[in-house]
Chains A and B, each alone.
Chain A
Amino acid sequence: MDQHEKPDFEQLGDQCKKMRRQIVTMINRAGTGHPGGSLSAVEVMAVLFTSVMRVDPANPCWDRRDFFFLSKGHAAPVLYSALANRKFFPEEELLTLRQLDSRLHGHPSSECTPGVDMSSGALGQGLSVANGVALGARLNGTDQRAYVLIGDGELHEGQLWEAAMTSAHFRLDNVCAIVDSNGLCLDGPLDEVKCLGNLKAKYESFGWHAVEIDGHDLQAVYDAFQEALRTKGRPTVIIANTVKGKGVSFMEDQVGWHGLAPNNEQLKIALEELT
């Protein structure tokens, strides 16, 4: 795969609904999992995997691929859904999430899932890895890019700020971070647990180009990635303002749905809302 056409946003909107149905269904089937932070990142993941990243599902280890790292590893269901829709593995396999012999672990594993380049789940680690890939691409003289999805609560982890300095210091314009800014942590609202202050200003003061968007607006998401592509000499962060649990009325903006599986009745309502 190489360059992409401009996406058909209507079609992409349908795909987002389908991804949300897959997310709630697979978590229901597994009985455990993290719907809230998976649903908030659907538009970002859909645009990335269909219209931005250069990958080859038939050859996941293609040596000229772009890289994606799910630093907020607990959002594995949205990653698996994006990979399945991009045909890295059959969509039916999504229903094996978290089962003993499944390739789809509770948190991503580069050792068993096609299209997953780095294991994650311990928060804070993705940006450092993206920087390493970006430095490697520079050494190799390729135009490969590294994308990393970070949770806003995850930004409590100090390593992400160590890494933010590294990206800027080495002027890694082939690094693009996306913050899924859904405003909720596990224990409560982010601002109550520990507030981040002015996130955009923080990144800018670290030497990044920062773009703030509505993370559920497909056009805005796409445009932000294009802006990142055009930005030279420094890394770009897309602060995607999102709603945790987006698309399912009773999950939206509810702390309790961070890591809770819907039961069969709740699933039925969710699927009706997502048709």
Chain B
Amino acid sequence: MNETIAPREAYGKALLKLGSENKDVVVLDADVSKATMTSLFAAEFPERFFNIGIAESDLVGTAAGLALMGKIPFANAYANFLTGNAWDQIRISVSYANKNVKLIGHNSGTSPGQEGPTHLPLEDISLMRSLPGMIVIEPADGIETAKAVRALAENVGQAYLRVGRMPTPVVTSEDDPFIIGKANVYRRGTDASILANGVMLSKAFEAADILAGEGISVDVINVHTVKPLDSECVLEAAGRTGCIVTAEEHSVIGGLGSAVAELLVQTRPVPVRIVGVKDRFGLSGKMPELLDALGLTAGAIVGAVKEAIAAK
């Protein structure tokens, strides 16, 4: 097994470092700073840390006001409450008003585990992706999470970043480039392309190894930015291998699979299979158990690749 890092730990450290380099960075949290690890920033820069309490709507609006004053606010809350409770505030005060707010959705996907379905954000990317101008990033691991923090601070504009709670395998390296909107191709194959992000990138590598053992050669591409989608990369892969499988720790409705399918069906129709959570709420259990129970496995990707190839 690879080394593991909790994305939230990488996030907390990256934010602290960013804060020491850029005095305009301010951080808001909704009474979950120990879980989001913005507590690291708060301890070092208390004057630039605002605990808004358990009030995600107010948190987002306050962040928009700070952005008006030239600050770079990072607004933190659990992903489902941030994108769900504060949807209207994100839509108007941030997105429509085009404010430079960084929305950080924590405890993403299955990572809250035993908290149960109320706490499992499986729809957040769908909600954020539908907003005009919103950048949506789902990093593959802790290393990429840290890079995303820096990239978002340097890029003026609204953005949503997903951060997981539990340690997950490290599958990218410090030397890999991270450019918003630019997918990273890790393996090149000939028979199919696997487009994955988040924790599902590690599952995609596992699936690629299994498939290689059966003589099937696949791409493994990390689409860390769901929006704007790297359409050039997706179209190139579709053209070269002739079929696509997407994999995400999110509902099959509205996430990476939807984004890829929307592009391909209108430009280069090839067989597409979408691996994700099948239009259902989560469960209560440990994260590895949830990934298995919800069909977020290497085996599911292998099956989807074979189906996609057969459909060519």
Contact = CB atoms under 8 A, between A and B. Distances in A.
B98 A134 contact: no
Interface in B64-105: 64-71, 73, 88-89, 91-93, 96-98
B65 A130 contact: yes
A166 B69 contact: no
A78 to B, nearest CB: 20
Interface in B21-71: 26, 47-48, 50, 52-53, 55, 57-71
Interface stretch (A52-60, A157-165, A224-232, A263-271): A157-165
Contacts of B92: 119-122, 125
Q: How large is the interface on B (under 10, 10 to 19, 20 to 34, 35 or more residues)?
A: 20 to 34
A128 B58 contact: yes
B69 A137 contact: yes
A208 to B, nearest CB: 15
Given A129-B68, A136-B68, A139-B47, A119 B58 contact: no
Contacts of A124: 57
A141 to B, nearest CB: 11
Given A110-B98, A111-B97, A139-B47, A132 B57 contact: no
Interface residues of A, number: 36
A170 B89 CA distance: 21
A124 to B, nearest CB: 8
Given A119-B93, A166-B52, A132 B65 contact: yes
Interface in A165-184: 165-166, 169-170
B93 A125 contact: yes
Contacts of A133: 65-66, 68-69
A28 to B, nearest CB: 27
A139 B52 contact: no
A24 interface: no
A130 B62 CA distance: 7
A91 interface: no
Contacts of B65: 118, 128-136, 146
B57 A128 contact: yes
A187 interface: no
A142 to B, nearest CB: 9
A130 to B, nearest CB: 6
Nearest to A132: B65
A215 to B, nearest CB: 25
Given A118-B93, A119-B92, A122-B88, A128 B98 contact: no
Contacts of B62: 128-129, 131-132, 135, 163, 166
A166 B97 contact: no
B58 A159 contact: yes
Contacts of B88: 122, 125
Given A135-B62, A146-B65, A165-B53, A128 B97 contact: no
* Most-contacted residue by chain B among A121, A126, A128, A139 (CB, 10 A): A128
Interface of A: 63, 67, 109-111, 117-122, 124-137, 139-140, 146, 158-159, 162-163, 165-166, 169-170
8 contacts: A119-B96, A120-B92, A121-B92, A128-B65, A128-B93, A130-B65, A159-B89, A169-B53
